[in-house]
Amino acid sequence: MQLQRVRVTNFRKLMGPVEIAELPPGLAVIGGGNEEGKSTLLEAIRAALFEKHGLMGEAARAMQPLGAAVAPEVELDFTVGGTEYRLWKRFVSKPRAELCGGGQTWADDAAEDQLQALLGFQRPGKGASKLEHHGLWGLLWVSQGETFEQPVVPNATARDSLAGVLDTEVGEVLGGDVGPRLLQEFATERDRFWTKAGKPRGELKEAHSALERARAAREAAEQRLHEEAERRERLERVEQERARMRAEGVVAQMEARQQAAEARQQELDQRRRAVEDAEQQAKLAATERAQAQERWQGRQTLRDAVADLAEQEANAEETVTARQGEAEQADAERDRLARALEAAETALDRHRARERHLEGLRRRQTVQAERDRVADTLAKATAAEAAAREARKAAGALAVTDQALQALRGQEQALGEAEARLQGAATQMELAVNVAYQVTGEAQGDGTGYRITGEAEVILDGVGRIQVQAGGAELPEQKEQARRARRERDAALDALGVATLAEAEDQLARKQAHEQEASNQDQRLAALAPEEAGGLAGLRKRLDQLDAELAGLPTPAEDDPDGEALAAACEQARQEREGAETARNQARQALDAQQQTVQAADNRLTQARTRLEEIQRNRARYQRQLNEARAEADDETLARALSDKQGQEEAATAAAREAREALDALDPEAIETEVAHARAAVTKAKEREQELEREADGLRRALRETGDEGLSEQVAELAREEEAAERQAAAVEREAAAVWRAAGALEEAAREARQAYLAPLNRYLVPYLRYLFPGAEPVLSDTLAVEGLQRGGQAEAFTQLSIGAREQVAVLTRLAFADLLAEAGGEAPPVILDDALVYADQERFDTMKHLLARSAQRHQVLVLTCRPMDYLSLGAVEFRVG
Amino acid sequence: MAIHLLHTADWQIGKGFGPIPGDDGAALRNQRLETVTTLAELARTEEVDAVLVAGDVFDAQSVSDRTIRQLFERLRAFPGPWILLPGNHDAAVAESVWDRARRLGAVPEHVYLATEPAPILLEEAGLAVLPAPLQRRHEPADVTAWLDAAEIPAGYTPVGLAHGSVTGFLPAEAEAANPIAPDRAATANLAYLALGDWHGTLQVNERTWYAGTPETDRFTSSHPGNALLVTLPGDGGSPAVETRATTRYRWHRLSQPLHEPDDVVALGDRLASLGEPTTDQVVDLTLRGALTLADKADLDELLAAWRGRLRHLRVDDTELTTRASEADLAALDGAGFVATAAERLRQGAEAGEPADATALEMLLAAYRRQGGG
């Protein structure tokens, strides 16, 4: 299919007539500036092709130019299947349609029907047609302002046409309408049984749950049945044991054994009491024997103590005598050492006095030298202070200051300037006379003539007199200024006490010299008597201190050494004094040590005397006690009583031993153990009987309670239910597995079919895409929409691409559709791009142009653009709107 | 004078039918009681002197009170005497089902509960029944040993009644416990030894028989479903034992290969030949082989019909696969990827994937339903 000519009249802004003729079969560029009507031209073509001439209402009126009640007309020449057609339509007013081609002519509705059959599009039920009605034509137009937010989805008619072509290429791989319905049906079926993740759900999950419930119920019932069986078995064992106990008379046996053991226990108790009695007697005898023994031992102890103390007393007396001798000896030695210490201290005093005297002489030498140095410094400092004071006084006597001198210089300069101005304004008078003359008044001669600043008189000798009056309005004022300047300058000179500026400058120089001298003397004073040392007062105070120290120091005698001999004498005196100190210290230590010896001897003597006295007291006390005891019972009586009690004790002990032996012969521990065991055995046997009875009763009760429940029948019933649940679950599992397999097989086959189905389109689209997106594969939907790109194993949704990329993909998709239609289907409607590729960068734009040109070799491509020059390089035929 | 006995055993009252669910199972379970009525009727018509039940009257100690009452109620149809022996399932343990029956007052006077190893003297018939009840579920020793020394009054014919495994006679798995000496009838000088425990009717020796269970309850080849009419001649000669079928339901285990349409027809013929009434037949059917979808549909129809006719039909078709015929697949011509999917499922089915076979069936059915083919 190819558009050849279009002529538009009274269509919106194209009042026209506007005609574009001889459109080529390949690429054509229709240029025009903004608002010139490119898009309107396309609207006119679209209206001619797809709107019925009888269209009414707002859509029809929108074709008319604004405010003009005229009939829009469009005339198109185009070819379909090699046949040329001419279509003419008039809208709104006296609407008409006419189609001519192949030697036939159709008018009005017949023309509309023929046109629809020819181009294969749909009409809306009523009103204006929309894009989805335009079939392949609509698919291949890229309108101005398209936003490319969604992938290009071919409309149903276009899809059918494309599918027709694709089916021709690959056969009916998609299985007609039934295939998708089956896919949907099995996917829905699969959802009944499985989640997306392949986990059971719905009926399948419920079947599993039901089976688990049935199993749990059966297991619970079995558990109860098992417990009942265990109770029954337990009851049987309990009853058997009870029967055995009854048959064997276990309790009676135990009781007989207990009685026998208790009889032996009674005999044991009797013997135990006999042992206790005998042991009591033995204990009594032992006590009495111990008392007699104690009395006898007391007497012996007292006798021994008296004898012992008499011996101690004699020894103590000897000790006292020896200690007395030692103390006297120590006292004599101490007295001797005290005298030696006294002599050593006298010698030390003498040496100390000599050393102090010589050291005083040495100190006097040092202090005297220091005093001389300080006195000299004080004299210099005092002189520097006086010099500084004098210099400051001289400087203060000079009145000129730096500031006053500056003022005076200014006044001098002002006077000069006032004088100059006056002289400048003065009248210049030059005289050339041959007589003597005299000039008076306000005239000043300057060698070449006179400058007259007021009234002046020239007296020419012999000739006469000339009265001159200087003119000029400013002259009096300048004269006044000069006078005022002079007065001020003279007043300043008077104030400074000088006659001239030079004198003032000289006076200031001298003043500054005095000030510098005062500063120099201050610095000298500061160096000699630093402020931090107290200045002059500090020096004077130091001098006083040194004088006072000198007054306190010894004065040298005639035979005293001096100079270096004094130093040697000092050192010798020091060594002699140290020797005397050492001797004195040794004497003191010896005396101290002896003093301790004396003290120790005295202590020992005192201790010996104290000890002797204590022994003497004790001996007297014990002797008195012994005498008193013997008066009560003599020694022999006590010895006899002890012997009697010892005999009684031995007899009682033997009797107790015999009784114990008789008791031990019965093995009391064994008898007691036996009694305890026998009693415990009886208790235990009775307890066991009761316990078994209780347990049997409990088991019987429990068995009677569960008896009527028919647990075994319940288990059988629940087992049946479980098996039914198992079968149900297996059946559902089989169905679910089959549905899973069927759905999976269908989806896999459909996926493969789709790939085969889309292969022809990819044959055109993939090379185009790879010019712009190297390595990219389109992701095509069943509706032939490019849903995204697959690049490097990564899928990118169409909506994720940049707007430029989306636009380029949209255009390339149309080119591919058109290529497919042209090559496989015989012909394609023109691809029309209205101000497209506005988002492409230069490189992409160039590539797109190249691809447009390449595609245009297979079918017509109309590019409407406001920048036709951009397409110049393609060598395309260019047309202009307007 | 001859003595006539009805020897039966292993009623297993209260036992369920594990493999058979729902109403079918309930009917079978109920039939155990109905068969007791049949036995009472047989005893009455044959005018026997006593009915000896050789153990396992009840299936478990813990049957419900109602079940106990129902059983003893059935025994009223024959005035007796009935001698009921505890077996391993209903051993005379403490607080046993027998204790419960007595406590419930359910035991009629003409029913003897042989829970002790002591002679039961039936004076009218001159019969001394020597029971060897199991007083534990499993007795390691031969409880019939006491029969050798049993003292019975003169003029009574001694008949033993026991429950267990005759040593060295039954298959090994049946001999786990409760042994019975094979020559007990001889050593104890018994006119007859009535045994229970083995569910098939089985003669051990001239005077010793297993009666078997009177109502078949499993698919087995051990000849169950009978009771024994025993006649003890007055002269002490050998007993005459007559087997009487008492079972209502007959259990059949069938296996059928299916490959061709004729095989399906043959299966129908086999089912039809199982006997009348068909509602008393219980069938366990194992199918194997491979059928086309059409033949499978025929099979499904056949089985559905027989499920209605039989008391119970259990089908194991895990070894049966379906295969799509050429015609089945030809219907998918032009179906695009649907045909591809069907072909893959067919290949999977042929490779033994059962889910694929079913999936293929589903797919073809759905395709037809959606208007394809």
Nearest CA in chain B to A239: B94
pLDDT greater than 80 at residue A143: no
Note the pLDDT of residue A171: 47
Closest CA to B146 of B124, B113, B114, B109: B114
The torsion angle over the Cα atoms of residues A648, A650, A652 and A657, rounded to 10 degrees, is 180
Which tokens is B24 given?
A: 């079918």
CA distance B332 to B273: 40
Q: Is pLDDT of B120 > 90? A: yes
Is the confidence at residue A736, as pLDDT, over 60? yes
Q: Would you kindly state where each structural domain of chain B is located, as residue ranges? A: 3-245, 250-369
Decide if B65 touches A, using CB distance below 8 A.
yes
Rounded Cα distance between A399 and A496, Å, is 6
pLDDT of residue B251: 93
Rounded CA separation A521/A338 (Å)? 71
The residue type of A190 is R
Angle at A51 between CA A48 and CA A56, to 5 degrees: 120
Mean pLDDT of A442-465: 82
Q: Burial of A779 by CB count in 10 Å (0-12 exposed, 13-18 middle, 19+ buried)?
A: middle
- Other CB atoms within 10 Å distance of the CB of residue A276: 12
> Is A47 inside a domain boundary?
yes
Q: Nearest C-alpha of chain B: how many angstroms from A258? A: 34
Domain with residue A123: its CATH number is: 3.40.50.300
B214: contact with A, CB 8 A cutoff: no
CA angle A119/A123/A129 to nearest 5° reads 105
Searching chain A, which residue's CA lies closest to the CA of residue B317?
A: A731
Report CB contact under 8 Å: B338, A178: yes
Residue A659 lies in a domain: no
Mutate to test the interface with B, among A727, A741, A751, A782 (most CBs of B within 10 A): A741
pLDDT band at A145 (very low <50, low <70, confident <90, very high): low
Q: Give the angle A614-A617-A622 at the CA atoms, nearest 5°.
A: 120
Q: Give the 3-state DSSP-derived string for A166-233, with helices as H, strands as E and coil as C.
A: HHHHHCCCCCCCHHHHHHHHHHHHHHHHECCCCCECHHHHHHHHHHHHHHHHHHHHHHHHHHHHHHHH
Q: Among partner residues A232, A735, A753, which is closest to B337 by beta-carbon distance? A: A753
pLDDT exceeds cutoff 80 at B105: yes
Q: How confident is the model at residue A561 (pLDDT cuts 50, 70, 90)?
A: confident
Residues A366-413: pLDDT tens digits?
A: 898 899 999 999 999 999 999 999 999 998 888 888 888 899 899 889
Give the pLDDT confidence of A8-41 residue by residue, as tens digits.
Answer: 999 998 887 889 988 998 899 998 888 888 888 8
Q: What is the mean pLDDT of chain A?
A: 87
Give CA–CA dist A704/A53, Å, rounded.
100
Strand partners, A96: A90
Structural contact between residues A435 and A422, judged by C-beta atoms closer than 8 angstroms: no
Going edge to edge, which strands form the sheet with B50-53?
B111-113, B82-84, B50-53, B3-8, B226-232, B240-245
Average pLDDT on A260-281 reads 90
Q: Which of residues 683-722 of A touch B (CB under 8 A)?
A: 696, 699-700, 703-704, 706-713, 716-717, 719-721
Query: Residue A268 carries which DSSP code?
Result: H
Residue pointed to by tokens 């079940």: B67
Q: What is the Cα–Cα distance from A562 to A560, expressed in whole angstroms?
A: 7
Enter the tokens of residue A442.
Answer: 């306000």
Residue-level pLDDT at A152: 67
Predicted pLDDT of residue A205: 93
> What contacts A516, CB < 8 A, 6 or more positions away?
none
The answer on pLDDT for B106 being more than 90 is yes
Q: Residue B108 pLDDT more than 90?
A: yes
* Dihedral angle of Cα B270, B272, B276, B280, to the nearest 10 degrees: 80
- Convert the pLDDT of each residue in A777-805 to its tens digit: 888 776 677 788 888 878 888 888 888 88
> At which residue do the structure tokens 């160039």 appear?
A846
Please, is A677 exposed, middle or buried when counting C-beta atoms within 10 Å of its C-beta (0-12, 13-18, 19+)? middle
Look at residue A132 and tell me whether its pLDDT is greater than 80: no
Report whether B168 contacts B191 (CB < 8 A): no
Task: Order across the sheet with A83-90: list the strands.
Answer: A18-20, A2-9, A73-80, A83-90, A96-101, A104-107
Query: Within a domain: residue A53?
Result: yes
CA distance A227 to B201: 34
* Number of residues that this document lists for chain B: 373
Which pLDDT value is given to residue B176?
Answer: 66
Reported as a pLDDT band with limits 50, 70 and 90, residue A774 is confident
What's chain A's Rg over C-alpha atoms? Answer: 77
Minimum mean pLDDT range among A332-346, B61-75, B244-258, B328-342? B328-342
Rounded Cα distance between B253 and A220, Å, is 33
pLDDT in tens, A831-858: 998 888 888 888 888 899 899 999 998 8
What pLDDT is recorded for position B115? 96
Query: Which of these, B278, B205, B204, B272, lies nearest to B238 by C-alpha position?
Result: B205
Report DSSP letters for A742-771, one per residue.
Answer: HHHHHHHHHHHHHHHHHHHHHHHHHHHHHH
Three-state DSSP class for residue A470: coil
Q: What average pLDDT does the segment B68-82 reach? A: 94
Instruction: Tell whether A282 is covered by a domain.
Output: no
Which of chain B's residues have a Cβ under 8 Å away from the Cβ of A749?
337-338, 340-341, 344
Whole-angstrom CA distances from B116 to A546, B92, B144 are 148, 8, 12
Q: What is the DSSP string of B227-283?
A: EEEEEE-TTS-PPEEEEEE--S-EEEEEEEEE-SHHHHHHHHHHHHTT-S-GGGEEE
- Chain A, window 179-218: residues with a beta carbon less than 8 angstroms from a chain B beta carbon: 179, 181-182, 185-186
Between A170 and B226, name the one with better pLDDT.
B226
Q: Which of A720, A721, A742 sits opposite B362 (nearest CB)?
A: A742
Number of structural domains in chain A:
2
Find the angle CA(A734)-CA(A740)-CA(A744) to the nearest 5 degrees: 145
Q: Is the pLDDT of residue A620 over 50?
A: yes
A762 close to A755: Cβ distance less than 8 angstroms? no
pLDDT at A107: 93
Task: Evaluate whether residue A147 is within a structural domain.
Answer: yes
Q: Tell me, what's the pLDDT at A174? A: 57
Q: Which of A171, A164, A180, A159 is nearest to A751 (CA)?
A: A180
User: What residues 122-161 of chain B have any CB closer than 8 A to a CB of chain A?
Assistant: 136
| Token pair belonging to A641 | 């009583």
Contact across the interface for A176 and B334, Cβ inside 8 Å: yes
Winning range, highest mean pLDDT, from A60-69, A496-505, B85-94: B85-94
User: A172–B336: do the CB atoms touch at under 8 Å?
Assistant: yes
For residue B68, CA distances in Å to A65, A316, A421, B59, B98 come to 106, 122, 163, 11, 9
Lowest mean pLDDT among A382-386, B187-191, B330-334, B361-365: B330-334
Q: Considering only CA atoms, which of A517, A277, A311, A570 is closest in space to residue A395? A: A517
A241 assigned to some structural domain: no
Bridge partners, B163 (sequence order): B196
Where does the pLDDT of residue A146 fall: very low under 50, low under 70, confident under 90, or very high at 90 and above?
low
**B165: enclosing H helix or E strand:** strand B165-166
pLDDT tier, A150 (very low <50, low <70, confident <90, very high otherwise): low
CB contact under 8 A, B334 and A741: no
pLDDT tens per residue, range A477-517 = 888 888 898 898 888 888 888 888 888 899 899 999 999 99
CB of A756 within 8 Å of any CB in chain B?
Answer: no
Domain that holds residue A452: 437-469
Cis peptide before A17 (omega within 30 of 0): yes
**Measured on CA atoms in the order A268, A273, A276, A281, is the torsion positive or negative?**
negative
Residue A15: how many CB atoms within 10 A of its CB? 15
H or E element that contains A506: helix A501-528
The verdict on domain B3-245 having CATH code 2.30.130.60 is no
Of all residues in chain B, the percent with pLDDT exceeding 90 is: 65
Give dist(CA B31, CA B74) in Å, integer.
12
- Alpha-carbon distance of B112 to B80, in angstroms, equals 9
Q: Which residues of B touch A186 (CB under 8 A)?
A: 362-363, 366
Distances (CA, A) of A303 to A289, A307, A611, A614, B254: 22, 7, 21, 18, 131
Which of B16, B341, B345 is nearest residue A719 as measured by Cβ atoms? B16
Instruction: Assess whether pLDDT exceeds 90 at residue B27.
Output: no
Percentage of chain B beyond pLDDT 70 is: 97
Query: How many C-beta atoms surround the C-beta of residue B92 within 10 A?
Result: 21
Domain assignment present for residue A42? The answer is yes
The DSSP output letter for A830 is P
Residue A733: the pLDDT is: 92
How do beta strands B192-196 and B208-210 pair?
parallel
Tens-place pLDDT, residues B301-360: 999 999 999 999 999 988 888 777 777 777 777 677 888 888 899 888 888 787 888 898
